A and B are shown apart, each in its own frame.
Chain A
């Protein structure tokens, strides 16, 4: 496993996320029915829901980037219903493609600048919604998700080897 990927998984676990490492094919067989909202542009899957005060139980979204040093997923949250779904669900599930992991916070600069030049809402999400405001006891699910699950989709090995040989 690449160093960046390993670090991302470690940091993601460190903030309490459940990490599931998948092959690309396995991603396609996720139990999509379980999710009240889905937005996966890479698979061209979108399942709409009108999100009200009750929120929804599970939302599945895709990260544009992920940051290894902090275990963060970077989500283009400009679409309002996607943002409401991600903010008001009990469980947030996020798909992260291995080749979108960057090493450091600074590496998101170009993406941020490009996206934010237009009306936008970009979210760095690092774990479930949390508070320690009562006697410093860490509790999740204060406003948003109580739990976060990351599906790390492995890069195709073959491609990588080819790439190396060329280099």
Chain B
């Protein structure tokens, strides 16, 4: 089971050390490479260039084909993996090439080309150093950019001794590279066929671009007399102008370099075969949302920025393609059953979408896939039902608060899911002032209803102090996000319809305020689509979406004065920072001045992810540990955040470390410290 595999990786010390140092170094060089560039603008350009409409793809393909054939190249359209493998094998056989050299190509992994060629008696030698090491070790790559990241230098030295009969000091990496150079050089000259992928294929001239740092790509394309290029239709772009836009972002997002060492632009000048792979691409180009995945430029950022990937690597969090896009492509090109397992590893932090240089809304694709594949098992479905029946949920919450201590003995994390009281009980005793201020609706959401009642009450008070007249929906209501995340389509729809009904006349409110960015994200971005089967609800969902704000957004707008306080730090909830693209940190630090201590790596996830925190507890705890380490490092008296989920998780994390640092919701903090 994937959960067990993940646990094993957490125990692999070499992997943990290498992945974590890679991810940190990568993020730093990413920042530096983008420097003064406007990342969002650049990626919008790339996204536009790679718009995956079927007609465009067809047009680009026809132009490419015409231009390439003009120079004598063969262009073959392979409908699936088998077809592509067969064609390539026949080219090798005709050339009597028993050895072929390859430069790294994900597409060839997708069709398992090496295996096919081996069965045909053809030895395909990978020439990228990392890939070659893994080929010697007979292991699949575990990382898109650093295929052998899980291997230590000692392991590589041992491998060279066993497989190549070469003795080398494990600390002499330079010598290892020399050995590889010697062995691979031989392969280049033996091979009669060189196989590469293409990072881009420029339709206007029939030219491909090939990026490598080692220079193996250009050797594969140069030394053997025949060049085979295997590529998916999505690699096509209209022009050099478009290709250069991709070139601007690809190395930055892949390795944090300004540019790869070698970029080769090749228009056919010798025997060249282009094998265009369909394998589902042309079908999905017509899909309303999965088509987005065809914008992918294979930079690997959606893995490198993923907190789960940082913990378990690509052997667990991937199939052929890894990370977020791997979840999707596995379903599109390979097996749904594998994809379904991968889905359960996703913490839902949206880092992938936030950093994708092609502007692919990966989190939405993941959510949609979760629903389409009906990922939820009976336990998750049961939990969702509970959230849809407030009466039951309230009784459950009350019962949980009574057995909090014994829950804690069973699993300390679980006890943090139990509150002291429930929101509706607190509400009864709350005296609200009649106000002539603008009406706003406070949308508490499940976390406030059943766990953080006090923060809910404080929010109502805060809204009054800010001069508004707050109201709440008459009954507890769920935004539907837990159902979407867990892949429970029928409950998600029910929740959405119920949500629209209970918000009633959105028109009468100036704003709809939440203190949970997840609810805000769901109401703004998901609700309408979930209501698509009921025109009535669809319309209402549309009307309310633009009124939704998080409390942080409202505070920034209203800008109240805050009295001085103790030293404070702040944790960004992922769904606010990467989902709503907002952070109140700037506002908060301006108000608190020297009393504000920023957290290192302000975009790091706390590892909560709702049901993920229980389903994949070891993984979730391990992500949390990293976050808690930087929280403690600030030596702040209090950490503020504005997501009940993050609060719960950070409280649990701090208590595990025996820390006394307080955790407070932004709403409560501001109320207590208003001037």
The chain A residues found within 8 Å of chain B, CB to CB, are: 11, 15, 52-53, 55, 69-72, 77-78, 80, 83-84, 87-88, 105-106, 108-109, 112-113, 116-137, 139, 141-145
Contacts and interface: CB of A to CB of B under 8 A. Distances in A.
B264 interface: yes
Interface stretch (B183-191, B329-337, B569-577): B183-191
Interface string B175-195: 011101100111011000000
Contact of A129 (B202, B223, B261, B263): B261
B223 A105 contact: no
A134 B153 contact: yes
Contacts of B148: 133-134
B272 to A, nearest CB: 9
A116 B219 contact: no
A11 B18 CA distance: 28
B258 A139 contact: no
B174 interface: yes
A112 B267 CA distance: 11
A106 B249 CA distance: 13
A121 B196 CA distance: 15
Interface in B200-249: 202, 204-205, 207, 213-216, 218-219, 221-223, 239-241, 244, 247-248
A121 B267 CA distance: 6
A72 B25 CA distance: 24
Given A53-B185, A80-B222, A135-B18, A119 B215 contact: no
Contact of A83 (B71, B214, B218): B218
Contacts of B189: 52-53
Nearest to B26: A136
B218 A123 contact: yes
Given A105-B248, A136-B21, A142-B215, A117 B177 contact: no
Interface in B113-151: 127-130, 133, 146-149, 151
Contacts of A118: 71, 267
B260 A126 contact: yes
Given A109-B240, A109-B244, A133-B148, A144 B219 contact: yes
Given A70-B259, A121-B269, A143 B176 contact: no
Given A72-B259, A135-B173, A143-B219, A129 B213 contact: yes
Nearest to A72: B259
A113 B239 CA distance: 8
A132 B261 CA distance: 13
26 contacts: A72-B259, A87-B219, A105-B248, A106-B241, A106-B244, A112-B207, A113-B204, A117-B205, A119-B269, A121-B221, A121-B264, A121-B267, A124-B263, A124-B264, A129-B213, A134-B148, A134-B153, A134-B173, A135-B153, A135-B173, A139-B174, A141-B178, A143-B127, A143-B184, A143-B216, A144-B215
Contacts of A105: 244, 247-248, 259
A125 B261 contact: yes
A120 B185 contact: no
Contact of B22 (A83, A84, A128, A136): A136
Interface of B: 18, 21-22, 25, 71, 127-130, 133, 146-149, 151-153, 156, 173-174, 176-178, 180-181, 184-186, 188-189, 202, 204-205, 207, 213-216, 218-219, 221-223, 239-241, 244, 247-248, 258-269
B269 A78 contact: yes
B314 to A, nearest CB: 15
Contacts, number: 164
A142 B214 contact: yes
A119 to B, nearest CB: 3
A11 B33 CA distance: 12
B130 A133 contact: yes
Contacts of A120: 207, 265-267, 269
B222 A87 contact: yes
A11 B258 CA distance: 9
Given A70-B259, A116-B267, A126-B260, A135 B152 contact: yes
Contact of B180 (A55, A126, A132, A142): A142
Contacts of A106: 241, 244
A112 B186 contact: no
Contacts of B128: 133
A129 B215 contact: yes
Contact of B177 (A119, A141, A145): A141
A70 B18 CA distance: 28
A131 to B, nearest CB: 5
Contact of A143 (B18, B133, B149, B181): B181
A80 B218 CA distance: 11
A95 to B, nearest CB: 19
A69 B149 CA distance: 30
Contacts of A11: 258
Contacts of B177: 131, 134, 139, 141-142
Q: Which 3 A-B residue pairings sit nearest by Cβ, starting from the closest? A: A119-B269, A133-B130, A124-B263
B207 A142 contact: no
B214 A112 contact: no
Contacts of A15: 261
A49 B445 CA distance: 75
Contacts of B71: 118-119
B265 A143 contact: no
Contact of A84 (B129, B178, B180, B222): B222
A128 B261 contact: yes
A87 to B, nearest CB: 6
Contacts of A83: 218, 222
Nearest to A110: B240
A143 to B, nearest CB: 5
Given A53-B189, A133-B146, A116 B261 contact: no
A112 B265 contact: yes
A77 to B, nearest CB: 8
Given A78-B269, A112-B207, 8 more contacts: A71-B258, A113-B239, A133-B146, A134-B177, A136-B18, A142-B177, A142-B180, A144-B214
Contacts of B219: 87-88, 143-144
